């Protein structure tokens, strides 16, 4: 994974409590607002965690 990446949010993965993640979608306007907040709050690099898609709206975090 690259050490540098541009921030582009398409969907957000949400922990559903059993170790799996589900996705929520946002409108472009909401994504732009969220990106602005993240950039404003970020004092350093943003930690990236690669997620594996198990379906179009369901992810799991890879085991270490």
- The answer to whether residue 49 is domain-embedded is yes
- The answer to whether residue 17 is domain-embedded is yes
User: What is the mean pLDDT of the segment spanning 46-53?
Assistant: 64
Half-sphere exposure at residue 34, Cβ-oriented, CA atoms within 13 angstroms: 13
pLDDT at 51 exceeding the cut of 80:
no
Domain housing 24: 11-60
Q: Identify the band that residue 56 occupies on the pLDDT scale cut at 50, 70 and 90.
A: low
pLDDT tens, 12-33? 778 888 878 788 877 888 878 8
- The answer to whether residue 2 is domain-embedded is no
CB atoms within 10 A of CB 20: 14
Q: In total, how many domains does the chain have?
A: 1
Residue-level pLDDT at 53: 59
Measured distance between the N- and C-terminal CA atoms of the chain, rounded to whole angstroms: 15
């Amino acid at each position: 994974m690259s050490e540098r990446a541009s921030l582009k949010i398409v969907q957000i993965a949400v922990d559903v409590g059993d170790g799996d993640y589900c996705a929520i979608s946002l409108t472009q306007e909401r994504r732009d607002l969220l990106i602005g907040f993240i950039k404003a709050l970020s004092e350093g690099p943003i930690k990236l965690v690669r997620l594996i898609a198990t379906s179009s709206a369901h992810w799991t975090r890879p085991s270490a």
